[in-house]
């Protein structure tokens, strides 16, 4: 708990957004990742490998952007930083622990941007959401990664919608914002790599499936080139009797 408190306090001091709820969610994810390191390792390795494969034959390696860079556990940041002139990491929160790791590595070509990538505010203002339009302003853009972000956008939007008065947002806000990310990503004029979990299953000790849910809320994902399972909550993490497994695709 002390490590979590220190990470929260340091992140709050360094953050440009200073939103306690967002920082707290990131710190909780950081703590879970440490607890579940062995179970998460195959998923993280698959994500890193797919990103490396996606950039392998790029002719130019000037600027790469990682959307949803998070804890950098599923992103091959060392290889990216060594291969591209500039790396831009974009997320709601960049934890102090992540900032320290980059500083210790001396990654002078890595830039950090804290930004809401959901498009929620655009939709709330009555505009057509274009959450990735800012990428048009990035010079010499050769590679963009969406790293296990899309389902998190859905979860965040769902929480925000639950707190809004009825009728404030369009009824189809959730799928529209997920679709906006997919469409915006597909329209980028550079090499892209999309990795996202698309569903989750609750499974008991005997292997019996108790529940499953669509994390993209009815929006069709692009046809994957790879897929695997991610044991987000192994036995003992949330329950002694159940585990939660996410299905991940990579495009």
**Does residue 18 sit within a domain?**
yes
**Does residue 60 sit within a domain?**
yes
CB atoms within 10 A of CB 172: 12
C-beta separation of 140 from 62 below 8 A: yes
**Does residue 44 sit within a domain?**
yes
**Does residue 49 sit within a domain?**
yes
**Which pLDDT belongs to residue 12?**
87
Q: Distance between CA 98 and CA 114 in Å, rounded? A: 13
**Which pLDDT belongs to residue 43?**
98
**Which pLDDT belongs to residue 1?**
78
C-beta separation of 178 from 161 below 8 A: no
Binned at pLDDT 50, 70 and 90, residue 226 comes out as: very high
CATH number at 109 reads: 3.40.50
**Which pLDDT belongs to residue 168?**
86
Please state the domain count of the chain: 1
CB atoms within 10 A of CB 251: 20
Label the pairing between strands 226-233 and 141-147.
unpaired
**Does residue 62 sit within a domain?**
yes
**Does residue 9 sit within a domain?**
yes
Domain range for 8: 2-117+141-149+186-250
**Does residue 110 sit within a domain?**
yes
Q: What angle do CA 148, 38, 221 make, to 5 degrees?
A: 20
* pTM of the predicted model over 0.85: yes
Q: For the residues 196-212, what does the mean pLDDT come to?
A: 94
């Amino acid at each position: 708990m002390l490590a979590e408190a220190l990470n929260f306090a340091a992140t709050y001091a360094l953050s440009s957004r200073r939103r306690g709820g967002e920082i707290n969610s990131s710190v909780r994810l950081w703590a879970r990742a440490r607890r579940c390191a062995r179970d998460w390792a195959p998923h993280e390795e698959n994500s890193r490998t797919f990103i490396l494969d996606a950039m392998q034959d790029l002719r130019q390696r000037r600027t790469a952007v990682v959307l949803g860079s998070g804890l950098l556990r599923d992103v091959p940041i060392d290889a990216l930083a060594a291969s591209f002139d500039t790396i831009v990491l974009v997320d709601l929160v960049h934890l102090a622990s992540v900032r320290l790791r980059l500083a210790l590595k001396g990654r002078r070509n890595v830039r950090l941007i804290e930004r809401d990538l959901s498009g929620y505010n655009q939709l709330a203002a009555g505009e057509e959401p274009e959450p990735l339009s800012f990428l048009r302003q990035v010079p010499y853009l050769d590679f963009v990664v969406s790293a296990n972000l899309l389902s998190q956008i859905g979860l965040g939007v769902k929480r925000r919608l639950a707190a809004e008065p009825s009728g404030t947002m369009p009824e189809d806000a959730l799928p529209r914002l997920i679709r906006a990310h997919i469409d915006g990503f597909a329209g980028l004029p550079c090499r892209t790599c999309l990795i996202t979990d698309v569903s989750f299953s609750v499974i008991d000790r005997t292997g019996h499936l108790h529940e499953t849910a669509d994390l993209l809320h009815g929006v069709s994902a692009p046809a994957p080139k790879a897929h695997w399972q991610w044991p987000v909550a192994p036995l003992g993490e949330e329950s002694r009797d159940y585990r939660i497994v996410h299905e991940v695709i990579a495009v």
